[in-house]
Structure 1
C-alpha cells in the first residue's frame, strides 16, 4: 500500500520539478545504398540541472479514511396499492393514469359507495342529535327556560278547563230530551189512533198520519241521540288529550327545575361515544372502497377501468419526482466489513461539476450477489438534495467516510518510503549535509491520496526529507550513434 502511494506521489513530484530534457534528434539520411552516421552532442549549457531533495514538516490535523465507489440515483420508495375490501363492487372512478403526479391523501380510485355514504349521513345526524341532548344535560336548567315551561303549564291547564266546559254538550242533551218528549207524545197519539181505528172510529188516512208522525219523531230523536253521543265522545277525547298535555308540561317543568343526575349524564355520554364509534366504522368502510396516495409521488401503473373489478396490484407508484431519493451502489467483499449504517458520504455527479451532495449510508445488504465472477454487496444511501437537482438513473460518484482521526500527526503521502518491507520516512542525518539521511520506521494510521497519519516514530515539527528522483543518463556519456543500411 505504502509503495503504491509513494509511486503516485513520486510521479506527481517529477511532473512538478523535472524540466524537459532536450535531445538532439539523430537523423539518418539514406542516400542510394549506403548511410551516413551523424553524431551530435548536447551543448554543455543545455545540461539538465540536478533536482535537489525536498524537506517537509510533520504536521497536526485531521485525516479521513474513505471508500470510493459509484452508484445510481433511485426512487427511495415504491408501493403497490390495492382496495382493502372489494366484494361485488365495481370501479366507479379511476382518477389517475401512468405518469401522473399525485399528492399525499389524493383519492386515486373509487368503488361504488352510494349505499355506505347514505349510512354515513344517517349516523352523522344521529350523533349530532345525541351531542345536543348531552350538552343540554351538562349545562343544566336556565331561568328563562323554567319561566317558559311554567307558561306552557298554564296553557295546558287552560286547555283542560276549556275541554271540560259543557255548553255544547248541555245544548245537545237539551235537544235530545225535547225530542224524546215529542217522541213519547207521538207514540201515545199513535196508540190512541190505532185503538180508535181498530174500533172503526177513525179512517185509514188518519191512522197513516199518526203512524208517519211517530216515524218522524223517532227519526228526529235517533239523530239527536247520535249527535249527543258524538259530542260526548269528542268532549271526553279532548279532555283526555288536554290532561295528557298538562301532565307532560308539568313533568317537563319538574325535569328542568331539577338538574340532571350523574347517571343520566353518564348514559348520554355513553350514547354519544357509541354513535361516534358507529360513524367512524362507517367511514372506515368507505375508506376500504377507495385508494389514496400515501405520499407525494408518480403513478407507474394502473390495472383496471371504470365498470370492471380491479386487478392486484391495482396501482403502483413511487417518489421518483421528489427530492427524497436514494443512491444504490455496490461494494466489494473486502470493503463490506468497513461499511455500516449511519456513515456519512460525499456524493457527486458529472452532471453538476464541482458540486457535491451530502449523504448517509442507510442500508447494507447482508446478502451477496455475484456478477462476472465478482462478489459484491448492495449499499443504499440517502442524499440531501433540497433543490431536487438529481434525477433517477443519474450515475453518482460515492465517497463513504469510514472514519476521521482528528488532531493527529500526518505527513504528505509523498514523504512515505518503504525499506525491507517496513513503512517509514527519511530524517536528515546531518543538517549540515542535506544529502545525508536516515530511514526511520513509522506506524501508519488512516491515509488518503494526499496525506498519511503517523501513529508513532515522529513528533510534530520534525523535518523529513523527500529524496529527489534519479536523473536520466547524461547524453554526453552515450558517445556517438551510428547507423546505416
Structure 2
C-alpha cells in the first residue's frame, strides 16, 4: 500500500500531534464561551437585576401620609324585634276562628282571631232584660201617681167622711136617748165604736190621698236609681266579655309563629312571656319591627350617642351593607365571661324586609372623624424595648427605629400622635436577613409580634 506520509514522520507521532492540536482548540472554545456568558450576565445584571433590586429596595419603605380618618367602633350584634309577645285570650275558651297565618303583617287593633261566644249570648239577653226592668221602675217613681189613682183616693176619702158624719149623728141621738132612759148603755157603746171606726177610716183615707198627691219618696227613687246602675254594670260586664272574644293585635307587627288552630282550647298567658317559651295555651306569637341589638365594650361606650349613624353587615347577605341609627343605650351594663359591655339598640333604615330575627351582624358605629392626621401603615408599627415605634428610612435608606405614640386605627392605617413630622418614610418590609428583631418590652432577648 502506498502512503502520502513523509518518510521522516511516522504514524504514531502524527496521531500525537493531531491530539495536541484538538485539545488546544477545545480549551480555546471553552474560554471563548465563558467569556461570552460572563459578558451576557453583566449586561443582564445591569439591564434587569439591578433595576429590579433597586425597585425592591424602594418598595420596602412607604411615605408617611396625612389623611382624614373616619373613626368607627366595631361590635357584634343580633337582629331582634322591638317587641315580641304571645297573644292569648283574656278568658279560657275554645278558639272559634283564626284570621291570619305565619308571616302575615298585621296593624294595631286589627282582629286576628275570634273565641267561641255562645255561652255569653244568653247572658247578654238576660242582662238587657234586667236593665229594662230597673229603668221602667225608676221612670214610674219619677213620674209619680196617675190622676186616676189620686181621684180614687179622693173618692175614698169622701166616702169615709160620709160614714163618719152618719156615725156622729147616731152617736148624738143615742146619747140623748140614753140620758132619757130610752136605750141601754150597750146601744150607746155600739154607736160610739162605730163613730171611732169611721173617724179612723177618714184619717187613713186622708193619708192615702196625701201620698198619692205627693208622689214617690226620695228614698225609693234613690234605690231605683241604684238598681239601674247595677243592671247597667252587669250588662257592661257581659258586653266586655263578648268584645274580648274578638282578639285584636296589640301593636303592628308580623305573625312570628302560630300555636293553635280553630277548635283548640286556649288560656290566658302573661303579656311578657317570651316567644321561645310559648306553649299551645297561646294563640300566636307577634313580633314588631326588627332592630339591631349590639353589645359595645365598656371602653368604647363613651363614643356612642343617640342618633348616631351605623352600618352593619349580616352573615346571610355577604357583601351587602345596611344602614341604621342608634335609638337606645342601656344604662345598666351586662357582664359575660368577665367582659363588661353595654347593650345598644339601633333602628334599621335600609331594606328591613331582608333581615330576620336572630340573624348575626357586624356593626360599625360612626364615632367621628380625625382631620389631617399623620398615619402610617399598621403593619409598619413594631415593639422594641424602648417602646412602640416604626423604622424610618435614613438618607442612605437604612432603617432607624423611631418611637411614636399611636392613636386610632382605621382599616390598615394607624394615627401617629407624636414622634413623626409627616415627611418621613417608614419600612413595612425588609430584605431577607436584614429585618430588625421585634422585641416585646420588658422581655429582653425575646421576639415579639408585629402590630
TM-score by length of 1: 0.45
